[in-house]
Amino acid sequence: MTAHDRAALASATRVVVKVGSSSISGEAAWRIPVIVEALAAAHARGAEVLLVSSGAIATGMPYLQLDARPNDLATQQAAAAVGQNVLVYRYQEALRPFEIVAGQVLLTASDMEDPTHRSNARRAIERLLGLRILPIINENDTVATHEIRFGDNDRLAALVARLVGADALVLLSDIVALYTRPPDEPGAEPIDVIAADDDLSGYAFGSKVVNSVGTGGAATKASAARLASSAGIGVLVTSADRVADALAGAPIGTWFVPSDERPPATGAVATLGG
Q: Binding site for substrate: which residues? A: 54, 141, 153
Q: Which residues pair with 193 in a beta bridge?
A: 255
Count of other CB atoms within 10 angstroms of residue 99: 9
What percent of the chain is helix, strand and coil (3-state, nearest 5)? Answer: 45, 15, 40
Closest C-alpha to 240, from 3, 25, 67, 14: 25
What's the CA gap between 13 and 2, in Å, rounded?
9
Q: Binding site: which residues? A: 18, 54, 141, 153, 173-174
Within 8 A by CB and 6+ apart from 224, the residues are 152, 154, 155, 157, 158, 171, 235
Q: Binding site for ATP: which residues? A: 18, 173-174
- 59-71 as b/e: b if 16+ CB within 10 A: bbbeeeeeeebbe
What's the CA gap between 198 and 8, in Å, rounded?
21
